[in-house]
Amino acid sequence: LEDTLAVIKPNGMEQHREEILQEIRAGEFSIMQQKEAVLSRELAEEFYREHRDKPFFSQLVDFMCRGPCLMLVLTKENAVEEWRAMMGPTDPSEARQAAPDSLRARFARDVLENSVHGSSNAQHARQKIDFIFGEIGEE
């Protein structure tokens, strides 16, 4: 079994939270941990630090902080790849072509507000799970 970190981003939470959770259940992922929070700028900047030099970085941080996110540890055989496949491509116009049933094809507004995040590999998953669930801590 493998863990991945999924995040329902603010636009996903605003409009499609229940449908996305329904898809996660239908995909037979076990939700091992979950936490709803409005991310601080500092946390969002650290979370997406590998993109800090991209032209869209400040927009991305603003977006991720604008309302609550739901962070989920999903566990399943091959969870990282399976969750990425369920999300579909980053840009919804590509997702609608390549993976019309994917979450981003259905629920993304645009390439920025694309409704969900998923770790890109197992090491990244471990790091971000430790960061998110360690950093925000127990309430």
Shortest distance in whole angstroms from residue 51 CB to ligand ATP:
6
Element (H, E) at 132: helix 122-136
Restricted to residues 29-68, the positions that interact with ligand ATP (CB under 6 A) are 51, 56, 59-60
Confirm or reject binding of residue 112 to ligand ATP (CB under 6 A): yes
Q: Of these, 99, 111, 122, 136, which contacts ligand ATP (CB under 6 A)?
A: 111
**Number of residues engaging ligand ATP in binding (CB under 6 A):** 11
Q: Do β-strands 116-118 and 30-37 pair in parallel, antiparallel, or remain unpaired? A: unpaired
Tokens of 14: 């605003």
**Cα 131–Cα 32–Cα 41 angle in degrees, nearest 5:** 30
Specify the amino acid at residue 37. Answer: A
Q: Do β-strands 69-76 and 2-8 pair in parallel, antiparallel, or remain unpaired? A: antiparallel
User: Mask: binding to ligand ATP, 80-109, rule CB under 6 A, as x and -?
Assistant: ----------x-------------------
Active site residues: 117
